[in-house]
Amino acid sequence: MNTMRVSHRLKRWATAIWQVIGAVNIRAKILGIVLGLVVLMGVAATIEVRLLLDQTLTTQAREHSVAVARDVAARATDLTLMRDYYGLFRLLRDTQANNPDLRYAFVIDSEGAIIAHTFGAGFPAGLYDANIVTSNEHHRSVLLATDEGDVWDTAVPIFDGRAGVARVGLSLAAREQTVAAVTSQLLITTIMAAAIGITAAALLTWILTRPILQLVELTKAVTGGDFSRRAQRWADDEIGALTDALNAMSDALAQAERERAEREQMRAQYVTRIIAAQEEERKRIARELHDSTSQALTSLLIGLRSLADRHRSPDLRRQVDDLRGIVGQVLHDLHALARQLRPSVLDDLGLAAAIQRYVADCRARSGLTIDLAMPDLNGERLDPALETALYRIVQEALTNVIRHAHATTASIVIERRDGRLRAIIEDNGCGFDPAALRGDGDLGLNGIRERAALLNGHLIIESAPGNGTTLYVEFPLLASAEESYACEPYSVGR
């Protein structure tokens, strides 16, 4: 269990560290790697050289101490046997003068008494017992730590120990100075190498990252829809191949965008013609109903009145009056149907006035309470195709509400926002499941969706059984209300 916790914690730490490293840009990464390697190699080399030099100089100092001690022992043999203390003193003084690193030297006779030394102010306490050599040893060297630094203390028997012992102390201060000087030089070399490495790494990162940053800018431009940008090929390497691939991709996307724009233009033309043909046919049918059928019904009314005037029979007059009432209602319904097919107010006064009139007719016919809000359309005209499509969508939506929703209230909001035209149609009816829609005739909603799609719009349906229905219809506005008049309108005839 503890192992799993430790593993999970290590994995979490590794993930956190990687997230921090991954957030650093590539230039900082390359510079950090180069600087880290230079510093690491410089520090490692400095430590290794310092240790090796310290070891070598310490060994050399020890060997030098042994050589000096053996020389003193050899030269002090006769002087010790003859008890020439002054000669011993001169020997030690000359030896110290010829060896700058020699801290001290002294001679002990066979009875253990110090007979000569280089200490002017007195022999240091404890030094005598710090290094004891036996007569059967060639020499003995001990590293002593003093207030003035480390000292190699070497003791050599004189005349196999029968004449005494010669001891010298060789200071290691020169070793420490040499090691410090070499360490300083290595550190300076490391700093210079780091500066050169950083300069080289900066140049390298500039060479490497400049084309990469250019490719990043190219991808951002392509993402934003600008397919005219191209990246410059810097070298014949992998980045150069990637540059060629991205440039080829930009060319292909530019060509696809041109083709899409052409298709969109053709589609817009087809949509305009389809809508124009639909509205022209609606208007033709409305004109036929008004001119032919309506006149025929009017003539029938006149004939029935004439018939009633010529005959005085009450039964006949009552039947004629009933027929005249039926014909009058048919004529009224015919006029209403003609207005629905193509309201002249849509052509003359625009979308807002047409919807206001249609909503008033729906209120009168159905008794439905309808709230209407068009804050951004009063007195403004939109593209004729868009006005017609939105009018038909509102017409179809209210027809569905009246026929199928069993609602008591409905609301319509039409607004312009962020370059788009939005219509929200809501009722408090019985609702339905939008996922259960099938076929082309379900509540007319598929027809609304198709009309919206013809003008690059889309329909969103929010409904549930018992919770009413809300339709969101949205269209892009390619031009302002003033500019939309400059668009070429389609003709619906007069």
State pLDDT tens for residues 124-166. 888 888 999 888 888 999 999 888 888 999 999 998 888 899 9
Asked if 461 and 434 touch (Cβ cutoff 8 Å), the reply is yes
Place of tokens 């029968």: 162
Average pLDDT, integer, range 77-95: 90
For residue range 419-472, what is the model confidence (pLDDT) as tens digits? 888 999 999 999 888 877 655 445 578 778 877 887 888 899 999 888 899 999
Rounded Cα–Cα distance for residues 451 and 431 (Å)? 22
Q: Is the dihedral of CA 203, 207, 210, 212 positive or negative?
A: negative
Rounded Cα–Cα distance for residues 334 and 477 (Å)? 36
Q: Would the pLDDT of 118 be above 70?
A: yes
Tokens representing 273 are: 């013609």
Rounded Cα–Cα distance for residues 32 and 39 (Å)? 10
For residue range 179-191, what is the model confidence (pLDDT) as tens digits? 888 888 888 888 8
Local confidence band at 24 (pLDDT 50, 70, 90 cut-offs): low
Tokens representing 269 are: 């033309």
297-305 own/partner pairs: CB under 8 Å, 24+ apart: 297/327, 297/330, 297/331, 297/334, 298/331, 300/327, 301/327, 301/328, 301/331
**How would you class 473 by CB atoms within 10 Å of its CB: exposed for 0-12, middle for 13-18, buried for 19 or more?**
buried
Q: Are strands 140-146 and 409-417 parallel, antiparallel or unpaired?
A: unpaired
Question: In this predicted structure, what is the pLDDT of residue 343?
Answer: 67
Question: In this predicted structure, what is the pLDDT of residue 98?
Answer: 92
Rounded Cα–Cα distance for residues 417 and 400 (Å)? 27
Phi, psi of 43 (to 5 degrees): -65, -45
Within 8 A by CB and 6+ apart from 104, the residues are 96, 117, 118, 119, 168, 169
Kindly report the CATH class assigned to 26-180.
alpha beta
Question: In this predicted structure, what is the pLDDT of residue 214?
Answer: 79
Q: Which amino acid is at 460?
A: I
Tokens representing 143 are: 């590293």
Question: In this predicted structure, what is the pLDDT of residue 362?
Answer: 87
Local confidence band at 1 (pLDDT 50, 70, 90 cut-offs): low
Rounded Cα–Cα distance for residues 333 and 325 (Å)? 12
> What CATH code is assigned to 350-489?
3.30.565.10
Question: In this predicted structure, what is the pLDDT of residue 168?
Answer: 95
Question: In this predicted structure, what is the pLDDT of residue 283?
Answer: 72
Neighbours of 425 (CB within 10 A): 23
Least confident of 55-69, 96-110, 223-237, 335-349: 335-349
Tokens representing 170 are: 């060789």
Average pLDDT, integer, range 406-426: 90
Asked if 194 and 171 touch (Cβ cutoff 8 Å), the reply is no
Alpha carbon separation from 259 to 250, 252, 266, 369, 453 (Å, rounded): 14, 10, 10, 48, 20
Local confidence band at 489 (pLDDT 50, 70, 90 cut-offs): very low
Q: Would the pLDDT of 480 be above 90?
A: no
Share of the chain above pLDDT 70, in %: 88
Q: Which residue has the higher pLDDT, 482 or 321?
A: 321
Q: Which amino acid is at 181?
A: A
Q: Would the pLDDT of 311 be above 90?
A: no
Rounded Cα–Cα distance for residues 233 and 124 (Å)? 81
Average pLDDT, integer, range 341-361: 79
Tokens representing 129 are: 């017992």
Question: In this predicted structure, what is the pLDDT of residue 427?
Answer: 94
- pTM over 0.75? The answer is no
Question: In this predicted structure, what is the pLDDT of residue 192?
Answer: 87
